[in-house]
Amino acid sequence: MLKNDPGNEVKLKIYALFKQATQGSCNTPKPGMLDFVNKVKWDAWKSLGAVSQEEARQMYCDLIGSLVEKEGGSSAQVASQPAAGGTAFNTLLLTRGDNITTITLNRPSKKNAITDEMYNEIIAALEEAAKDESALTVFTGAGDYYCSGNDLTNFTKVPEDGVEAMAKRGGVLLRKYVKAYIDFPKPLVAMVNGPAVGIPVTVLGLFDLVYATERATFQTPFSRLGQSPEGCSSFTFPKLMGATKASEMLLFNRKLTAVQACDLGLVTEVFPDSSFRAEVWTRLKAYAQLPPQSLALSKQLLRSVEKDRLHAVNDAEVELLVERWTSDECFNAVMSFFQAKAKL
Ligand code: COA
C-alpha cells in the first residue's frame, strides 16, 4: 500500500493501466455527461488506445514501482516477470510482446544511473535481444528519468590495485558497451521518457529512432566533470547537428529541450507527456509488423557504411577517457558532486 496519496491524475493513470492490462482496450459505452466520475475514468482508459495488455502490465509495474521507490521502498516488489526463457536482471526489465523486445532501465530511485553491473546487464540484454524473434528493440527508463548517466559512485570505490587499474578496467567495459550498440543487428529505438544526462544521450547517435516525451532534456556535462565525450558522439553529433551545435553540447554542457534536440536531428519526434507511451507504442507496434529480416538487413546495410569508423572513434574516445578518469579535474568534480549532496 502507498503511504501517501499520489493525487487524482496518477490514480487515474493507475486505474486506466489496470483496466487495459486486465481487459484490453476500452470497449464499454461512454458514460453520460452527468456521470462525472465514471466519465473521467472512462476517458483515462480510452486514452490508452491500442496499447497491448502486456505493455500496459509493464507500464503499470513501472508506475507502481516508481511510486513505491519515491516512498523509500524497493521497486523489485513489483518488477514484472522476466521475458519467457530470458535472463532475470537486477537493474533492468527485459520484456517481450507485439514483436518488440523492451529493455527498461530499472533504478528509478537513482534516476536510472548506470552502475558497472548495469553496464554488463545492458550488454547481456542486447546480446539476447539480437538473437530473439522480435523485429525491434526498445530502450526506456522506469520512473520520471530516462537515465542520469554513469553512476558517479563507480568512481568512488578505489580498489587495492589503484586508480589507474580501475580506469583501465572502466575503459574495457565502456568500449564493450558502446561496441554492443555499434554492432546491434536490428532496429534500435529509444523511448526517452524523461531527462537524460551523459552516456544515454551520447549513444543516441547510434539508435535508429529516438522518440521523446516533451518533458525530456538532453545534456552531456563532460567538461564540468573533467571528462570527455563517449558513445561515438564526437563523430555522430557533429554529423547530425553541425560542428558548432555539437561543440556547444559536448564541450560547453548546453542542455537541450526535447524540441531543440528534435530540431537538431538527435530526436526523431517529440510527443505530449500524457500520451507519450500510448502514441509511441501504437506506432512501434505497427512498425514491428514489417518483415523482420528486411528490417534487420536494411539496418545492417545502413550501419555498414561507417561501422569501421565508429569502432575507431569508440577506441579513441575510450583512450582519452581512461586518461581523464585518472586526472585531478575528474576526481575533484566527482567529489564535489557528492559533497554538494551531503550538504543538502
Ligand atoms: N550517479 C550516482 N548517483 C546518482 C546519479 C549519478 N549519475 N544521478 C542521480 N543519482 C542519485 C542521487 O545521488 C540521489 O541519490 P540519494 O537519493 O541516495 O541522495 C538520487 O539519485 C536522486 O537524485 P537527486 O540528485 O536527488 O535528484 P534531482 O532531481 O535533484 O537531480 C540529477 C537529478 C540527475 C540532475 C542529479 O542527480 C545529477 O546531476 N546527477 C549526476 C548526473 C551526471 O553528472 N551524470 C554523469 C554524466 S557524465
For the chain, which domains are there? 51-343 (3.90.226.10)
d(CA 38, CA 177): 48
The contacts found for 180-184 with CB under 8 angstroms, 24 or more apart, are 180/122, 180/123, 180/126, 180/127, 181/126, 181/206, 181/207, 181/231, 182/206, 182/232, 182/303, 182/307, 182/310, 182/311, 182/314, 183/307, 184/126, 184/129, 184/130, 184/137
Q: What was the pLDDT predicted at 18? A: 74
Q: What was the pLDDT predicted at 158? A: 82
Question: Is ligand 1 within 6 A of the CB of residue 97?
Answer: no
Q: What was the pLDDT predicted at 95? A: 95
Nearest CA to ligand 1 atom 48: 198
Q: What was the pLDDT predicted at 200? A: 98
Residue 70 reports pLDDT greater than 60: no
Collapsed DSSP state (helix, strand, coil) of residue 104: strand
What pLDDT digit, counting tens, does each position of 294-322 carry?
999 999 999 999 999 999 999 999 999 99
Q: Average per-residue pLDDT in the chain?
A: 87
Residues of the chain with pLDDT > 90: what percent? 68
What pLDDT digit, counting tens, does each position of 35-44 carry?
666 766 776 6
Nearest CA to ligand 1 atom 1: 151
Residue 323 reports pLDDT greater than 90: yes
What pLDDT digit, counting tens, does each position of 165-207 carry?
999 999 999 999 999 999 999 999 999 999 999 999 999 999 9
**107-116, 146-155, 290-299: range with lowest mean pLDDT:** 146-155
C-alpha cell recorded at residue 135:
523485429
Residue 333 or residue 114, greater confidence: 114
333 C-alpha to ligand 1 centroid (Å):
14
335 C-alpha to ligand 1 centroid (Å):
13
Q: What is the mean pLDDT of residues 126-150?
A: 97
Nearest CA to ligand 1 atom 29: 111
Question: pLDDT class for 14, splitting at 50, 70, 90?
Answer: confident
Residue 54 reports pLDDT greater than 80: no
pTM above 0.75, yes or no: yes
**Contacts with 85 (C-beta within 8 Å, 6 or more apart), sequence order:** none
d(CA 246, CA 184): 24
